[in-house]
Amino acid sequence: MTRPPVFLAAVGLLIGAEASAQLRVPPVVQRVLPGRQPAQPVLVGIDALRADFLARTGGNTVYFAGDSFGLVPAAKTNLTAQAQWLRQHPEVVVSIEGHASPLDTRDHALALGARRAQEVRDFLVLMGVPAAQLTAVSLGKERPVGANSRVETILVR
């Protein structure tokens, strides 16, 4: 029995949709040309955006002095580069994560981390990044990172 073309097309769409729903694209794709050494990994998706962000902005971290939340000139330079990149990539959403010293009390560390993250967010908005693209959070001393007097701009999606 021969199936009508419409039926076959519908089955093809269902199979294609099912296959694409199960298809998982790895974050790194390795290409090897015949007779050559393995090529450098090619980044795709959010990993490629993260790599480009880090390369073009000089990093995703800005530092603060001691118990302060004021932006120092070096931080403003880095954030200006971040703002320029983020304006060029409006599809990217970032989490601005504030850290504080593990030696502080829990409440003080959370408040200082929040104030630092908010300062960075406010500066990026002042530089033209849409507020909807940015989320500020305080990690206080809950997730310590290095010296902790810092804010990290993390690409989420």
For 100, residues 6+ apart whose C-beta sits below 8 A from its C-beta are: 108, 109, 110, 112, 113, 116, 138, 140, 141, 148, 149
- pLDDT exceeds 70 at position 2: no
Average pLDDT of the chain is 78
- Give the pLDDT score at 40: 58
Is residue 71 within 8 A of residue 123, CB to CB? The reply is yes
Q: Domain 43-155 falls in which CATH fold?
A: 60s Ribosomal Protein L30; Chain: A; (3.30.1330)
Position 9: which residue type? A
Position 157: which residue type? R
